[in-house]
Amino acid sequence: MSFWNDGADIADQAAPDGPIETRWERRQFSAKLVNPANRRKLTVIVIGTGLAGGSAAATLAEAGYKVRSYCYQDSPRRAHSIAAQGGINAAKNYRNDGDSVYRLFYDTVKGGDFRARESNVYRLAQVSVNIIDQCVAQGVPFAREYGGLLDNRSFGGTQVSRTFYARGQTGQQLLLGAYQALERQIGLGNVEMNARHEMLELIVVDGKARGVVVRDLVTGEITTDLADAVVLASGGYGNVFFLSTNAKGCNVTAGWRAHRKGALFANPCYTQIHPTCIPESGTHQSKLTLMSESLRNDGRVWVPLARGDSRKPGDIPEDERDYYLERIYPSFGNLVPRDIASRAAKNVCDEGRGVGPGGLGVYLDFADAIARLGRHAVEEKYGNLFEMYQRITGEDPYVVPMRIYPAVHYTMGGLWVDYDLQSTIPGLFVIGEANFSDHGANRLGASALMQGLADGYFVLPNTINNYLAAGPFEKLSADHPDVVAARTQVEDRLAKLLAVDGDRTVDSFHRELGHLMWEYCGMERTEEGLTKAIGLIRGLREEFWARVKVPGTGEQLNQNLEKAGRVADFFELAELMCIDALHRAESAGGHFRGESQTPDGEALRHDDQFSYVAAWEYGDTPTLHKEQLDFEYVHPSTRSYK
């Protein structure tokens, strides 16, 4: 029995061809515009207020559209983007170190292991420079050098310094900028903000996305909202693994509901495992903490040379240490991309050379940097990260090396979108981490903030016009049969979750699902493991629907009910992730197939068979549509950071 059906190939019809440098300009010129006077007759729903959704809602409203915005947090500025620490890339070349739009494009296509679209990535690199100008104009306090220029540091997978940062709080500062822009439009009456509301269904009428069904998380009231277009900026789905660096609330529901209504889901198995996280400390934990990649600018990664060496780090002499990243990858050293650094950490731990409880950790050591730069300089750059580490572990990283281990961090997969960021449902646009668009099989550090803001401030506000130019669309009322059906679906599902009244908590199911995913669809995947996982996930899902206990009612604040709905969707997503990982019998970036590696253990791609985006159509048995990838500029080669 096959786990999937093969469907027809698909293509990105919106991307212009011709010279890559002018594709974006030509797309903007060829796209239809909406006259400013007509924009106020058009309404757009934006789900999400992170960097992608916040910037999009503010920009669309600034352009004159009526916007209704939703988030499940109590304030738009609590979106998960606020957690981003290390920085945002841009090809400004302030350091005069050989950077350019082309180099950022090249690094990103290569870093993504040749599984991203060239057109999208080139546009991202072009737009990156505008983002910094926009944010500086908003007052985002980027770090500056003594002379006043914006400072830069390096992130993995690059040999230039192009990462702009605000200490270890870059996401927070960028989000405050987007939030101010959003608040301005809320104040002007152009954006209606609905915090504490969760989208539970997409409304599709005559094949077009026309609205959403939402639940007021405080009162439990269910309402429908209708508009001319819907934008999903609902973030990533790393929490399918239960433990991840994501905020606890991050989930896949908005995207998954759209997928069930016809939006293709692309590359679901591409998960980023970040190499520098604080190791798990026990079963009481509900999330993991990232230590920003920026720390690898100055921290050196090492483990003892000998297996089972349990001496304190300070007692291990230099010649008995293995600075394995510097040894194996001399060109990039500690700044190899995340997928490479994570796998290398796993390998040394598998060899029995890991440190800390259970041997699941490696050292990130700042002794050299402190000796070279002085403690004050290190504190200036990373002070808040060091403090966070000390608070969590009780160890002082200025004195003993940090212990780190890989953890789930980001999802490159997401809803399939074309060059216009439109999904396969007309009128449904998807931006930020929720789409699959720009990072291929592996995202380079500091590129998620870049993509979210590129999509929200610059790309979507241009491309959505082309769709809205045909509007305003037919006026719909709440008693339209498709609207009623979507609402009924939500009500029935909530009632079903409450009616099970079993004996196991939602969290216990989520934890077990996450464990399965980490074990079989985590850092290394095999055909045997994935096949087993699909069976186990199906069994656990059945048990969930028979035994889950959701106390309380639907007519009140009920966080168990919220979680139950999200975990139910995670079950379906998890199965698709395993099917996607199973069908892709190659290693690429964040997807490492045990059967497909070079003699020295590096990822082995099979470009002749898998140089495509896997776009999945929903069904009891999902259908695979392939979008073939062409590489005219950056030719696929063996990715080497040695």
Catalytic residues: 338
Residue that the structure tokens 């300089």 belong to? 377
Q: How far is CA 33 from CA 28, 63, 194, 209, 468, in A?
A: 9, 11, 28, 20, 8
Closest CA to 202 of 569, 469, 496: 569
Which CB sits closer to ligand FAD, 345 or 348? Answer: 345
Nearest to 301 by CA among 350, 250, 344, 238: 344
Instruction: Name the residue nearer to ligand FAD (CB basis): 126 or 292.
Output: 292
In the list 43, 93, 120, 170, the residue contacting ligand FAD (rule: CB under 6 A) is 170
Q: Which of residues 241, 363, 382, 410 is near ligand FAD by CB under 6 A?
A: 410
Contact status: 347 vs ligand FAD (CB under 6 A): no
- Per DSSP bridges, beta strands 271-277 and 402-411 are antiparallel
Give the C-alpha separation, 527 to 520, whole Å: 9
DSSP 246-273: S-TT--SHHHHHHHHTT--EE-TT-EEE
> Which among 323-331, 428-436, 479-487, 593-601 is the span making contact with ligand FAD, rule CB under 6 A?
428-436
Asked if 254 interacts with ligand FAD (CB under 6 A), we say yes
Host H or E run for residue 627: strand 623-628
- Taking CB under 6 A as the rule, does residue 381 contact ligand FAD? no
Determine if 171 is a binding residue for ligand FAD (CB under 6 A). Answer: yes
Residue 449 in contact with ligand FAD, rule: CB under 6 A: yes
Q: Smallest distance, Å, CB 54 to ligand FAD?
A: 7
Contacts of 241 (CB under 8 A, 6+ apart): 271, 408, 514, 517, 518, 522
Closest to 251 measured CA to CA, from 280, 217, 292: 217
Q: Read out DSSP for 60-100? A: HHHHT-EEEEE-SSSSGGGSGGGG--S-EE----TT-SS--
Number of residues in contact with ligand FAD, rule: CB under 6 A?
Answer: 45
Residue 336 contacts residue 154 (beta carbons within 8 Å): no
Give backbone dihedrals phi and psi of 219, rounded to 5 degrees, phi first.
-100, -15
Asked if omega into 472 is within 30° of 0 (cis), the reply is: yes
In angstroms, what is the minimal distance from the CB of 491 to ligand FAD?
Answer: 16
Is residue 258 part of the contact set for ligand FAD (CB under 6 A)?
Answer: no
Asked if residue 617 binds ligand FAD (CB under 6 A), the reply is no
271-300 residues in contact with ligand FAD (CB under 6 A) are 290, 292
- Nearest CA-CA partner of 625 in 637, 633, 616: 616
**Which candidate, 436, 557, 485, places its Cα nearest to that of 112?**
436
Q: Which of 42, 28, 60, 66 is nearest to 178 (CA)?
A: 60
Q: Does 558 bind ligand FAD (CB under 6 A)?
A: no
* Span of 75-83, 466-474, 572-580, 612-620 interacting with ligand FAD by CB under 6 A: 75-83
Q: Does 85 participate in binding ligand FAD (rule CB under 6 A)?
A: yes
Phi, psi (deg, nearest 5) at residue 189: 85, 10
Nearer to ligand FAD, 56 or 523 (CB): 56
The single residue listed with the structure tokens 């212990």 is: 403
Q: Does the footprint of ligand FAD cover residue 447 (CB under 6 A)?
A: yes
**Residue whose tokens read 């929200």:** 456
328/407 with CB nearer ligand FAD: 407
Nearer to ligand FAD, 205 or 448 (CB): 448
Q: Which stretch binds ligand FAD (CB under 6 A): 122-130, 262-270, 374-382, 447-455?
A: 447-455
Identity of the residue, 170 or 442, whose beta carbon is nearer to ligand FAD in the bound complex: 170
Residue range at the interface with ligand FAD (CB under 6 A); choices 23-31, 232-240, 363-371, 622-630: 232-240
Q: Residue from 446, 497, 534, 634 that binds ligand FAD (CB under 6 A)?
A: 446
Q: How far is the CB of 210 from ligand FAD (least distance, A)?
A: 17
**Among positions 253, 423, 463, 465, the unique one binding ligand FAD when judged by CB under 6 A:** 253
Distances (CA, A) of 99 to 26, 112, 156, 163: 25, 18, 15, 11
- Looking at beta carbons only, is 322 or 339 nearer to ligand FAD? 339
The nearest distance, CB 392 to ligand FAD, in angstroms, is 13
**Shortest approach of ligand FAD to residue 375 CB, angstroms?**
24
327: Cβ contacts below 8 Å, ≥ 6 apart = none
Joined together, the tokens standing for residue 271 give: 């998960």
Part in contact with ligand FAD (CB under 6 A); list of ranges 29-37, 85-93, 607-615, 628-636:
85-93
- DSSP per-residue string spanning 417-480: --TTSB-SSTTEEE-GGGB--S-TTSPPTT-HHHHHHIIIIIIHHHHHHHHHTT-S-----TTS
H-type alpha helices, 550-593: 559-583
Q: How far apart are the first and last CA of the chain?
A: 42
Q: Which stretch binds ligand FAD (CB under 6 A): 135-143, 247-255, 554-562, 584-592?
A: 247-255
Q: Residue 121 or 199: which CB sits closer to ligand FAD? A: 199
Q: Is 154 in the site for ligand FAD (CB under 6 A)?
A: no
Part of the chain binding ligand FAD (CB under 6 A), chosen from 73-81, 339-347, 357-365, 555-563:
73-81
* Site membership for ligand FAD, residue 437 (CB under 6 A): no
Q: Is 233 in the site for ligand FAD (CB under 6 A)?
A: yes
**Minimal CB distance residue for ligand FAD:** 50
Query: Nearer Cβ to ligand FAD, position 130 or 597?
Result: 130
Is residue 354 within the footprint of ligand FAD (CB under 6 A)?
A: no
Phi and psi at residue 469, to the nearest 5°: -60, -25
* CA gap 510, 526 in Å, rounded: 23
Nearer to ligand FAD, 53 or 157 (CB): 53
Contact call for residue 125 and ligand FAD (CB under 6 A): no
> Which listed residue (433, 438, 562, 575) binds ligand FAD by CB under 6 A?
433
Q: Is residue 52 part of the contact set for ligand FAD (CB under 6 A)?
A: yes
Query: How far, in Å, are 37, 151, 158, 376, 380 from residue 145 at the CA level?
Result: 45, 5, 21, 15, 12
- Supply the minimum distance, in Å, between the C-beta of residue 87 and ligand FAD: 5
Interface with ligand FAD includes 335 (CB under 6 A)?
no
Give me the least distance between CB of 537 and ligand FAD, in Å please. 22
Identify which range of 18-26, 44-52, 377-385, 495-503 contacts ligand FAD by CB under 6 A.
44-52
Of 88 and 278, CB closest to ligand FAD? 88
Q: What is the binding site for ligand FAD (CB under 6 A)?
A: 47-53, 70-73, 79-81, 83-88, 170-171, 198-199, 233-236, 245-246, 250, 253-254, 290, 292, 409-410, 432-434, 446-449, 452
